[in-house]
Amino acid sequence: MVPFYANLTLLLEIVMGVGLLIGARLARLRHFRAHAWCQSVIVLINLAMIVFTMIPSFRVRVSPKIPLKLGKAYYALASVHAALGTITEIAGLYILLAAGTSLLPEKVRIANYKLWMRSVLILWWVVLLLGFATYARWYVPHFFAKMTLWNFQL
């Protein structure tokens, strides 16, 4: 049986992914204040999701088996998802600080906002797809039963 928090996390991540697309559309429509608000709320909610559901789950289910079991899809998917997700969340937080505040010195602020924001949006969706795969591997019986990182048998 799938834990309630896992289903809720998956649902919220899907909603946030769609929300980021809506936020990107707001920017294209030149509604920059609404865009900033939308993206900021999503990045901060995602940070809370990472801290309160994903990190504890990773620490219990995956990290004790690293590096011995990284060849198995169960651990490999979760590890790649966690690593890329961490990079993506940090990049999102950096954009929030650089674009939305004056807390960072001028030297470390973003020069090309579009490139940064589009890159993080793409990374976010890659991480979301890895999250789907991780969910499927962990909670959908026999989805990746024989698959390993080094031997792609299904």
Q: List, in order, residues 6 or more apart from 55 with CB less than 8 Å away.
A: none
Q: What is the reported pLDDT for 154? A: 43
- Residues 7-40 have pLDDT tens digits of 999 999 999 999 999 999 999 999 999 999 999 9
Asked if the structure places residue 151 within a domain, the reply is no
The domain total for the chain is 1
Asked if the structure places residue 20 within a domain, the reply is yes
Token digits of residue 135: 């969910």
Asked if the structure places residue 73 within a domain, the reply is yes
Asked if the structure places residue 153 within a domain, the reply is no
Helices marked H in 3-153: 4-28, 32-49, 55-61, 73-100, 113-139
CA 33 from centroid of its chain's CA atoms: 24
Burial 73-91 (b: 16+ CB within 10 A, else e): bbbbbbbbbbeebeebbeb
Q: The pTM is what?
A: 0.85
- Residues 105-130 have pLDDT tens digits of 888 888 888 899 999 999 999 999 99
Which residues constitute the domain of residue 76?
4-139
Asked if the structure places residue 152 within a domain, the reply is no
Asked if the structure places residue 148 within a domain, the reply is no
Asked if the structure places residue 110 within a domain, the reply is yes
Asked if the structure places residue 131 within a domain, the reply is yes
Share of the chain above pLDDT 90, in %: 67
